[in-house]
Amino acid sequence: MRHHTNWARNIEYSAARLHRPTSLDEVKEIVAGARAVRALGSRHSFNTLADTSGDLISLEALRQEVVLDRQARTVTVRGGIRYGELAARLQAEGFALANLASLPHISVAGAIATATHGSGNTNRNLAAAVSGLTLVTARGEMLTLTRSSPEFAGAVVALGALGIVTSVTLDIEPSFDVAVSVYEHLAWDTLLDHFDAISGVAYSVSLFTNWARDSVDQVWLKQRVDGSSGALPTPGQDFHGATPAPVRRHPLQGASAEACTEQLGLAGDWADRLPHFRLGFTPSRGEELQSEYILPRVHAAAAIEAVRSLAGRIEPLLQIAEIRTMAADDLWLSMNYLEDSVGFHFTWKLLQPEVEALLPVIEEALAPFRARPHWGKLFHAGADSITALYEKLPDFVSLAERLDPEHKFRNDFLTRHVFGG
């Protein structure tokens, strides 16, 4: 196989072959005949989760069907479609997804497999919108699961360990407009004293910081115009002492905001406003690494102070960090399983040895709060530590053994971080 890398170019896939099937029959044939096989999505994972010594399958060449059920308020799509492409199709039909991640460039199947998320106290991660999915199992057979299936909650956030997800059915709702307002220089003490009020004031809230400065750099408030969430400050007013940004901002200080979504309180459709970046632009050249730790929101203030105590070690390696919140769900391997959560996201410089040396220090600082690492990003914790964080992990292991008894979909990453051994 020619050399293939992930988006950040910190991972070179070791697979012998990369397949781009054009039909479901081809997918089934490849899986049935493979010794080891994994699905390759949009390559926005920063670790070896998608890698294999055998065959990689990309679904990008499959016809990207979008089947809308207006009465049931669902949409069924191929797993390889990107969220930005799906969002545009839904918006044209007058429908919306409840939330989107910061990048619209990621694939649906890859995002849900890793419990990728957007932000908002009442917004669950993207996987929670799944009402059904179809996958190709180890024998090359099709398996369809819905919310009524006993194993459904274990099969949505499944890390690719159960099969190749070929189609997904998602909940949708009527389209809505969103206005984005950015505020600058929020005092840390104010955030710590009023975290729930600040994180819950808008439909989606993001806080950007380098952890070392004496205030939070930016607060992004994304408000539904239909009034379904709280009232924002009037134009020109401060927000908890933070001042309105006079022009559009990029999360990185001094960077051009051309690739960012519209701001300054100008309302627009959800598809254009909920992501931080626009689909038509590449937000960076991939010269970054990412980590994220997600923990119960009740510990937000204490966890913020724990991370700030490491600011001197974090800041030299960091481009920018983001704090976001998510609502609880019931998906077994979701980082938000049964817990309203807060996430600490780190966008690192492309300094992998230095970052990997620091991750155990961050994980130790966040251990008292039962922080769960994002499955698709860089982290240190092994299977022994992970097992203690997921009460349903033994059930997931049993499900994986039943659907993949020959371990066709497993790889070194899953063995090291999930299954052990």
Percent of the chain predicted with pLDDT > 70:
97
CATH of the domain at 112: 3.30.465.10
pLDDT value for 227? 66
* Confidence at residue 285, expressed as pLDDT on a 0 to 100 scale: 61
In a domain, 375, yes or no: no
pLDDT in tens, 368-404: 999 999 999 999 999 999 999 999 999 999 999 999 9
Is 92 within the bounds of a domain? yes
Q: How confident is the model at residue 175 (pLDDT cuts 50, 70, 90)?
A: very high
Structural contact between residues 106 and 42, judged by C-beta atoms closer than 8 angstroms: yes
CA-nearest of 324, 339, 414 to 370 is 339
Higher-scoring residue by pLDDT: 30, 64: 30
**Distance between CA atoms of residues 89 and 79, nearest Å:** 15
User: Where residue 236 falls among pLDDT bands split at 50, 70, 90?
Assistant: confident
Look up the domain containing 137 and give its range: 66-175
At 81-113, the pLDDT tens digits run 999 999 999 999 999 999 999 999 999 999 999
Residue 2 pLDDT exceeds 90: no
In a domain, 80, yes or no: yes
Which DSSP state fits 245? P
Bridge partners of 292, per DSSP, are: 345
Report yes or no on 112 lying in a domain: yes
Residues in a beta bridge with 205? 221
Locate tokens 């055998």: which residue? 54
| Predicted pLDDT of residue 408 | 98
- Separation between Cα atoms, residue 390 and residue 409, nearest integer Å: 21
Q: What is the pLDDT of residue 282?
A: 73
Residue 64: the pLDDT is: 82
Global pTM value: 0.96
What is the token pair recorded at 278? Answer: 């626009």
DSSP for 123-158, written as a single string: PPPGGGGEEEEEEE-TTS-EEEEETTSTTHHHHSS-
Is residue 52 one of the residues assigned to a domain?
no
In this model, does residue 235 exceed pLDDT 80?
no
The pLDDT assigned to 231 comes to: 65
pLDDT at 284 over 70: no
The predicted-structure confidence for 40-57, as pLDDT tens digits, reads as follows 999 999 999 999 999 999
The angle subtended at Cα 96 by Cα 90 and Cα 98, nearest 5°, is 145
**In this structure, is residue 82 part of a structural domain?**
yes
- CA 255 → CA 145, 259, 274, distances in Å? 44, 10, 20
CA 23, distance to chain mean position in Å, is 28
140: left (phi over 0), alpha (psi -120 to 50) or beta: left
Task: Write down the pLDDT at residue 156.
Answer: 98
Q: 246 in a domain, yes or no?
A: no
Q: What is the pLDDT of residue 233?
A: 74
pLDDT, residue 398, reads 98
pLDDT of residue 283: 66
DSSP 328-393: -B--TT-TTBTS-EEEEEEEE-S-HHHHHHHHHHHHHHHGGGT-EE-TTS-----HHHHHTT-TTH
Q: Is residue 143 part of a domain?
A: yes
What average pLDDT does this structure show over 250-272? 94
Tell me the average pLDDT across 244-262.
94
Q: Which residues contact 397 (CB under 8 A, 6 or more apart)?
A: 418, 419
How many folded domains does the chain comprise? 1
**Can you give the pLDDT at residue 350?**
95
Residue 228 has pLDDT above 70, yes or no: no
